[in-house]
Amino acid sequence: MLANLVLHLFILLLFAPLLLGIITKTKAWFAGRVGAPLLQTYYDLNRLWRKGFVFSRTTTWVFLLGPVVGLAVPLLAALMIPFGALPAPVSFEGDLILFVYLFGLSRFFTAAAALDTGSSFEGMGAAREVTFSCLAEPTLLFVLLVLARLSGGLSMNTLLGEHLLASWRSEAGASLTLILVCLFVVLLLECSRIPFDDPTTHLELTMIHEVMVLDHSGPAFGMILYGAALKMMVLGALLVRLAIPWDTGWWLTNSLIFLAGLSVLAVLIGVIESAMARLKLPRVPQVLVGTSLLSIFALVLVLR
Amino acid sequence: MNRAKLISFHHGACVPLTELPCLDFPTFRESLLEEVAGDARIASFFGHPDADGVNLYAVLAHDWQGKLALLHTRVQNSFPSLTPECPQLHLFERELAEQYGLRPEGHPWLKPVRFHQNWIAAADIWGRDPDLHPIPGDMDFYQVAGEEVHEVAVGPVHAGVIEPGHFRFQCHGEKVMNLEISLGFQHRGIEQMLIGGPHPASIYQLEAAAGDTSIGHTIAYSQVLESLSTVEPSPRAYAVRAIALELERLANHVGDIGAMTGDVGYLPTSSFCGRLRGDYLNLMADLCGSRFGRGLVRPGGVQFDLNPELVDKLLQRLSVLETETRGAIELSFDSPSVLARFEGTGVLSIDAAEELGLVGVVARASGLMRDARLHHPLGGRQKLFDAPIIETDGDVFARGNVRRREIYASHRMIREALQSLQSGENRIPLGPLAPDSLAVSLCEGWRGEVVHVGLTDGQGQLARYKIVDPSFHNWAGMTMVLRGEQISDFPLCNKSFNLSYCGFDL
């Protein structure tokens, strides 16, 4: 149990920033550039951590709470979700609801911290983030309901348990494919990637997530960056487990397969970012309503 | 009919001021409005003070006749504003108010333009302290009130490495109701520095009037001095100027398309165009040693000549770059996700473009055929111009597509010019400037028409020099485009215009 927890945290904390590096490298390759080093995120985190805090006089303690909760939430969420065939260290009946709403909690504090600055940009970003996330929430819940129906349990560990392999081979495979697509869209949105948001843009008026954290700097910004990497790993773990449901029976190979799956996912995100332009902002809710419908359809298929 | 009072002339002519009648204001007003109601548009409108008041000169362009017309009047302290009937004059009148304390009575939007002190000892019409330098952006912005209305202020310091300007949005949620732009942060007083010239430093100041349009502004300046001293550069010099002008257009258009795709997050074109822009700038450096064409164009001709080896090298490089540029651009213009962002975004109607007197790429994208290379050519090479490009949708896509097609046309024009170079002097020395004369010069820079007007005094020195950069007309179009548009589309619309701040601020 303890060894499991340590391994889980080790994989999470050590490899999460690598995903961002892989995405950046893929994009650079498509653009014909050498690109930043694979480990750039680690260097950035190190650099940010060594800086001092700078707080605007107009902000309050809420402003610092945003990054802190933003870092703590994915850390907690990660404990409830299996990394590939490695089971989750913390598991109880109904933890899927906690899993979904932990992210809601972090969103609340990030938005509150943004509003705390009083900046019109950040207010706009908070409004966008909240709108889009609440439209993405049904998708995530329906996806989990499909899994709950297939597994007959209500904890993330059971949802993503050994039954997946059999489910893929049964008629439920169609539903699983649908929810895989839905989850991928949710991941792109939640991690503010193209086509929903552009993490590399400098244009405040077009940003969603980035604009909310404009006023953070130093270690606080480091926490945000690290939190974002952890969040991508947690949501990615969901996808990877769904797509690669095998268990080799040895923890080392299981970890390696999991990490390889995550790397492929990161490359995939990089390819999409290179081959696609951003959506016009009013189109984003339409896409999210679409994925909600898809996930409902997937649920109907397994309820039959 | 007041038409008889109009002085009509071709581009490149030197008009003696004695031939220019000074109309009384009602006649001036009537003639100007009559001309604009016809097919004329305002190319330039400026004042020049003397002992009896401020002389106003209006330069009208009759594009399809290839002719220019001049109107002249004199006013004191105030005059009835022409803007309500002729909106394209709105900024010119604000400029007069700021420079000479002339009040255009009834101007609907009388605010400072560049935030500088009066040029002459006249009362400031906004009642600002005459001893202090005005603060840029210090004006009453248009405001919308209401519980759900919010205001967003952007700039003058921006997130990217760009020039300073202040943008004030009145928004309802994500929708922009009104955008107001306040510039003037880079006002250097170029027009005043040119008075008493031509000074040795003048040409360098013109090269930096708008740093990305060095060739455009130096050609316009050289043409003014050549017209005033009745010197005709050799066909070879004209050809080198035309090549440089198209190279400047290539570098900037390619950079713009890259920036537009970068704004919508389409990486490949954005990166490739960034690199290709550098390659075109390097071709310019091969020509004259400066990537931005500084030091190339001089009154009387050009400072650098082309030898056969350089011609071969340029032709070779150009054929490689042409293929690469087409590849990079077509990639994004074939990509549905990019087109979905470009099409229907930031629409500027042809009526708005015409009323505001817009020029260049923006006007051509809205269906107005305005191209000084076509209508007001000067020199043998430019008279052969046969690639007028026009789009009619007026959206971001149209502005991008005008650029894309102009890039392809420029490739061909440069190639033809390089292959048919005539021999000749690269530079002919200028004589003294004609005294008490006026010359107008137009040059289609990459952004649009650059208009320079030079006015000499009795000693043949420049008494007034007026510069109109295309950005001066086109910023107003930018504010129109944003009405009812999503605020998140502002950066894209802005890039599709890509206007100059320093060209406006002068």
Q: pLDDT tens digits, residue range A6-32?
A: 999 999 999 999 999 999 999 999 888
Indicate the SS3 state at residue B367.
coil
Given a cut of 70, is residue B381 above it in pLDDT?
no
- Pair B175, B236 in one domain: no
User: B171: distance to nearest CA of chain A, Å?
Assistant: 11
Return all residues near A166 (Cβ < 8 A) that are at least 6 apart. Answer: none
Query: What pLDDT, on the 0 to 100 scale, is given for residue B343?
Result: 92
- Pair B50, B82 in one domain: yes
Rounded to whole angstroms, how far apart are CA atoms B43 and B46?
10
Whether B484 and chain A come into contact, CB under 8 Å, resolves to no
Report CB contact under 8 Å: A123, B267: no
Q: Kindly report, residue by residue over A138-150, the tens digit of the pLDDT.
A: 999 999 999 999 9
User: B358: distance to nearest CA of chain A, Å?
Assistant: 26
Report CB contact under 8 Å: A277, B340: yes
Given a cut of 80, is residue B374 above it in pLDDT?
yes
**pLDDT, average across residues B206-215:** 92
- Pair B330, B419 in one domain: yes
- Pair B267, B318 in one domain: yes
Rounded to whole angstroms, how far apart are CA atoms B381 and B385?
7
Q: Indicate the residue of A120, A203, A277 with minimum beta-carbon distance to B491.
A: A203
Return all residues near B414 (Cβ < 8 A) that are at least 6 apart. Answer: B243, B246, B247, B250, B314, B318
**Count of structural domains within chain B:** 3
- Pair B299, B416 in one domain: yes
Query: What pLDDT, on the 0 to 100 scale, is given for residue B453?
Result: 93
- Give CA A178 to chain center in angstroms: 18
Residue A301 pLDDT class (50, 70, 90 cuts): very high
Query: What pLDDT, on the 0 to 100 scale, is given for residue B4?
Result: 44
CA angle B452, B454, B455 (to 5 degrees): 150
Report CB contact under 8 Å: B486, A280: yes
Rounded to whole angstroms, how far apart are CA atoms A196 and A192?
6
Given a cut of 80, is residue B5 above it in pLDDT?
no
Strand order in the sheet with B149-154: B149-154, B166-172, B175-182
Q: Which residue of B has its CA nearest to A271?
A: B267
Mutate to test the interface with A, among B488, B489, B495 (most CBs of A within 10 A): B488
Q: Kindly report, residue by residue over A66-106, the tens digit of the pLDDT.
A: 999 999 999 999 999 999 888 899 999 999 999 999 999 99
Residue B426 pLDDT class (50, 70, 90 cuts): confident
Look up residue B415 and give its amino acid: R
Query: What pLDDT, on the 0 to 100 scale, is given for residue B230?
Result: 86
User: B156: distance to nearest CA of chain A, Å?
Assistant: 14
- Pair B345, B487 in one domain: yes
- Pair B174, B208 in one domain: no
Given a cut of 60, is residue B1 above it in pLDDT?
no
Question: For residue A302, which of A94, A181, A142, A183 has the smallest C-alpha distance?
Answer: A142
- Pair B168, B221 in one domain: no
Strand order in the sheet with B14-16: B14-16, B437-444, B449-456, B462-468
Residues of chain A found within 8 Å of residue B268, distances taken between Cβ atoms: 30-32, 274-275
CA angle A74, A79, A81 (to 5 degrees): 95
Report CB contact under 8 Å: B486, A276: no
- Interface residues from chain A to B (CB-CB < 8 Å): 27, 30-33, 120-121, 123-124, 127-128, 194-195, 198, 200-206, 273-283
The range of the structural domain enclosing residue B302 comes to: 190-505
Given a cut of 50, is residue B183 above it in pLDDT?
yes
Peptide bond into A195 cis (omega under 30): yes
Residues of chain A found within 8 Å of residue B154, distances taken between Cβ atoms: 204-205
What secondary structure letter does DSSP report for B485?
Answer: S
- Residues of chain B with pLDDT > 90, as a percent, come to 66
Residues of chain B found within 8 Å of residue A31, distances taken between Cβ atoms: 267-268, 270-272
- Pair B58, B171 in one domain: no
Report CB contact under 8 Å: A279, B337: yes
Q: B161 is written with which tokens?
A: 């490495």
ipTM of the complex: 0.88
User: B500: distance to nearest CA of chain A, Å?
Assistant: 18
Q: Kindly report, residue by residue over A27-74, the tens digit of the pLDDT.
A: 999 888 898 999 999 999 999 999 998 888 889 999 999 999 999 999
Rounded to whole angstroms, how far apart are CA atoms A100 and A77?
9
Query: What pLDDT, on the 0 to 100 scale, is given for residue B137?
Result: 86
Given a cut of 60, is residue B233 above it in pLDDT?
yes
- Locate tokens 């919308």: which residue? B144
In a domain, B115, yes or no: no
Given a cut of 80, is residue B10 above it in pLDDT?
no
Answer with the one of B51, B84, B105 that is the final residue of a domain.
Answer: B105
Number of residues that this document lists for chain A:
304
What CATH number corresponds to the domain at position B278?
1.10.645.10
- Contact of B28 with B73, CB cutoff 8 Å: yes
Answer with the one of B160, B182, B204 that is the final residue of a domain.
Answer: B182
Report CB contact under 8 Å: A120, B151: yes
Given a cut of 50, is residue A226 above it in pLDDT?
yes
Q: Which residue of B has its CA nearest to A26?
A: B267
Query: What pLDDT, on the 0 to 100 scale, is given for residue B2?
Result: 46
Report CB contact under 8 Å: B151, A30: no
**pLDDT, average across residues A204-223:** 89
- Pair B346, B204 in one domain: yes
**Element holding A81 (H helix, E strand):** none
Indicate the SS3 state at residue A44.
helix
Residues of chain A found within 8 Å of residue B273, distances taken between Cβ atoms: none
Query: What pLDDT, on the 0 to 100 scale, is given for residue B6?
Result: 65
**Element holding A173 (H helix, E strand):** helix A173-190
Q: Indicate the residue of A200, A205, A280 with minimum beta-carbon distance to B490.
A: A205
Residue B383 pLDDT class (50, 70, 90 cuts): low
Given a cut of 90, is residue B168 above it in pLDDT?
yes
In a domain, B201, yes or no: yes
Answer with the one of B158, B182, B206 that is the final residue of a domain.
Answer: B182
- Pair B276, B306 in one domain: yes
Rounded to whole angstroms, how far apart are CA atoms B239 and B237?
5
Q: Kindly report, residue by residue over B95-104, the tens digit of the pLDDT.
A: 999 999 899 9
Q: Indicate the residue of A121, A127, A277 with minimum beta-carbon distance to B264.
A: A277
Residues of chain A found within 8 Å of residue B491, distances taken between Cβ atoms: 203, 205-206
- Pair B211, B235 in one domain: yes
- Locate tokens 């629409």: which residue? B347
Classify strands B78-80 and B103-105 as parallel, antiparallel or unpaired.
parallel
Mutate to test the interface with A, among B167, B169, B264 (most CBs of A within 10 A): B264
Q: What is the mean pLDDT of chain B?
A: 90
Cβ atoms within 10 A of the Cβ of A201, count?
Answer: 21
In a domain, B248, yes or no: yes
Residue B379 pLDDT class (50, 70, 90 cuts): confident
CA angle A45, A223, A265 (to 5 degrees): 75
User: A206: distance to nearest CA of chain B, Å?
Assistant: 4
- Contact of B456 with B437, CB cutoff 8 Å: yes
Report CB contact under 8 Å: B159, A204: yes
Report CB contact under 8 Å: A276, B266: yes
- Contact of B434 with B158, CB cutoff 8 Å: no
In a domain, B318, yes or no: yes
Residues of chain B found within 8 Å of residue A122, distances taken between Cβ atoms: none
Given a cut of 70, is residue B105 above it in pLDDT?
yes
Residues of chain B found within 8 Å of residue A285, distances taken between Cβ atoms: none
CA angle A89, A92, A98 (to 5 degrees): 95
**pLDDT, average across residues B90-115:** 92
In a domain, B122, yes or no: no
Q: B154 is written with which tokens?
A: 């952007």
Residues of chain B found within 8 Å of residue A195, distances taken between Cβ atoms: 265, 337
